[in-house]
């Protein structure tokens, strides 16, 4: 391209026209004002833009403007064969890519009717990877949340510990964040030799660190004062708004798709589903949401330990084991519609597929992303709070903009 050519004609009205405010300044009352928060603001966790209608320091309305990270996932999904969509699925929730892959692969396998034939070792490796990634995702959620409201050190500690997980995942898959490891019908590769021992070392290492996190951050008086009774989400509103994941559980409902649907090998694994109990304030406040995430880290560690136990005893590595044995050469499901859902760290990730039975490209591939739906509850949560509490609320929703905008 010639360098003298103008690539973008600047006009001050461009931004206003592409994403106009919902509220008009001309119609405001005298004491009201509109504050624009984001899209480039550290506390909005990515490119989320909030139009906040304020009365002094009180938030009257919040209007989220999203779409700044839209990468046409669904359009890509309609134009690529099923197996080639997986790298795009990685980029939905990019801090928990394994969980997304797991959900997607499960959906396509269900359409092909090979879900029940998966070797146990493959399923246990999938669950192991997904739970490791869940821990990493919760580390980000809690760490950045602490940073949002002023606690800086926990962020560094959690990033340091998350690095161990990323290295484990990199060792297995070759990539730190976007893995393309879980394939339709199997895995990219078996676990590397020695992975199980290192993973056990990691579990032993991390347990006291999570305890330390609880002592220093979550049970800290300053943190409790800052988050208890802030952003209370009542259970009926949560269900009506379709909120899922730790947010829903913090509101007091023991609802986890790993238990409810019992997919993969989760029924064979013993773990609890922590819920918010309103220990520090009302049930469903910001503290409860953080506490549920912390407890889920312990539960995930439990799952990891049980997976390692199985992977070294009952389903241990054999010379002839081929994790790609069931990977179909051609993925052409029968003509059908399917909605599949799975629990990823943020909530219910769903995929809606329509296969026409004639091609190996989905006719429709819709992603129901949990961050998107969870974020839609923000205008309800933030009515009448202080602007500082608005920041505290955004952090506990734990949005990943890659998944909101897709």
> Closer to another protein at the Cβ: 158 or 378?
378
CB of 394 to another protein, least distance (A): 16
**373 near another protein, judged by CB under 8 A:** yes
Residue 338 is given by DSSP the state E
Burial class (CB in 10 A: 0-12, 13-18, 19+), 182: buried
Nearer to another protein, 317 or 334 (CB): 334
Q: Which is nearer to another protein, 11 or 330 (CB)?
A: 11
Residue 211 within binding range of another protein, rule CB under 8 A: no
Contact status: 205 vs another protein (CB under 8 A): no
Adjacent-strand bridge partners of 349 = 342
- Contact yes or no for 211/154 (Cβ under 8 A): no
Q: Would you say 86 and 101 are in contact if contact means Cβ atoms under 8 Å apart?
A: yes
Cα distance between residue 172 and residue 174, in whole Å: 6
The verdict on 82 binding another protein (CB under 8 A) reads no
Interface with another protein includes 233 (CB under 8 A)?
A: no
Cα separation of 148 and 46, whole Å? Answer: 13
d(CA 272, CA 259) in angstroms, rounded, equals 9
Q: Which SS3 state, helix, strand or coil, does residue 21 take? A: coil
CA pair distance 9, 11, nearest whole angstrom? 6
The token pair that represents 209 in the structure block: 């660190």
Nearer to another protein, 17 or 221 (CB): 17
Task: Tell me the C-alpha distance between 191 and 175, whole Å.
Answer: 14
Structure tokens at 29: 């009352």
Q: Is residue 253 close enough to count as binding another protein by CB under 8 A? A: yes
Rounded to a whole number of angstroms, the CA Rg of the chain reads: 22
Only one of the segments 38-46, 204-212, 240-248, 277-285 lies at the binding site for another protein (rule: CB under 8 A); that segment is: 240-248
Binding mask 322-361 for another protein (x = CB under 8 A): ------------xxxxxxxx------x-x-x-x-------
HSE-CB for 288 with a 13 A CA cutoff: 28
Q: Which stretch binds another protein (CB under 8 A): 52-60, 117-125, 217-225, 233-241?
A: 233-241
**What's the min distance (Å) between Cβ of 112 and another protein?**
12
| Residue 254 interacts with another protein (CB under 8 A): yes or no | no
Using CB under 8 A as the binding rule, whether residue 110 contacts another protein is answered as yes
Report residue 161 CA to chain centroid gap.
18
Q: Which of residues 13-72 bind another protein (CB under 8 A)?
A: 14, 17-20, 22, 66-67, 70, 72
Interface map 159-198 toward another protein (x if CB under 8 A): ----------------------------------------
The SS3 assignment for 378 reads helix
> Does residue 88 belong to the site contacting another protein (CB under 8 A)?
no
Which residues fall within 8 angstroms of residue 141, CB to CB, at 6 or more apart?
293, 345, 398
Is 226 a binding residue for another protein by CB under 8 A? The answer is no
Query: Residue numbers of the site for another protein (CB under 8 A)?
Result: 6-9, 11, 14, 17-20, 22, 66-67, 70, 72, 74-75, 78, 110, 237, 239-242, 253, 255, 260, 334-341, 348, 350, 352, 354, 363-364, 366, 368, 372-373, 376-377, 380, 405-406
């Amino acid at each position: 391209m010639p360098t003298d050519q103008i690539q973008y004609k600047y006009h001050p009205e461009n931004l206003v026209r592409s994403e106009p405010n919902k509220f008009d300044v001309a119609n405001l009352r005298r004491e009201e004002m509109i504050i624009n928060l984001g899209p480039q603001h550290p506390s909005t966790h990515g490119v989320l833009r909030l139009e906040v209608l304020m009365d002094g320091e009180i938030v009257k309305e919040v209007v989220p403007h999203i779409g700044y990270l839209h990468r046409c996932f669904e359009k890509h999904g309609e134009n690529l064969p099923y197996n080639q969509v997986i790298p795009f699925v990685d980029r939905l929730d990019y801090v928990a890519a394994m969980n997304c892959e797991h959900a997607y692969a499960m959906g396509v396998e269900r359409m092909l009717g090979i879900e029940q034939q998966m070797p146990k070792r493959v399923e246990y490796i999938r669950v192991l990877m997904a739970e490791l990634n869940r821990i990493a995702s919760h580390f980000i959620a809690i760490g950045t949340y602490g940073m949002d409201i002023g606690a800086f050190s926990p962020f560094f500690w959690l990033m340091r510990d998350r690095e161990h997980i990323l290295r484990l995942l990199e060792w297995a898959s070759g990539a730190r964040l976007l893995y393309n490891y879980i394939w339709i019908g199997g895995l990219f590769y078996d676990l590397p030799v020695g992975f199980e021992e290192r993973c056990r070392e990691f579990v032993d290492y991390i347990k006291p660190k999570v305890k330390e996190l609880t002592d220093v951050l979550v049970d800290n008086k300053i943190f409790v004062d800052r988050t208890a009774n802030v952003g209370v989400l009542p259970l009926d509103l949560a269900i009506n708004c379709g909120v899922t994941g730790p947010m829903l559980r913090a509101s007091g409902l023991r609802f986890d798709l790993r238990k409810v649907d019992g997919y993969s090998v989760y029924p064979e694994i013993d773990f609890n589903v922590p819920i918010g109990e309103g220990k520090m304030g009302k049930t469903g406040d910001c503290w409860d949401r953080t506490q549920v995430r912390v407890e889920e880290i312990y539960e995930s560690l439990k799952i990891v330990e049980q997976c390692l136990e199985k992977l070294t005893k009952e389903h241990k590595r054999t010379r002839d084991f081929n994790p790609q044995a069931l990977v179909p050469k051609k993925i052409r499901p029968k003509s059908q519609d399917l909605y599949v859902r799975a629990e990823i760290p943020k909530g219910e990730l769903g995929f809606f597929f329509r296969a026409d039975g004639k091609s190996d490209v989905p006719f429709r591939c819709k992603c129901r992303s949990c961050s998107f739906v969870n974020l839609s509850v923000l205008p309800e949560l933030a009515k009448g709070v202080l602007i500082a509490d608005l920041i505290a609320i955004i952090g506990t929703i734990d949005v990943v903009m890659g998944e909101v905008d897709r």
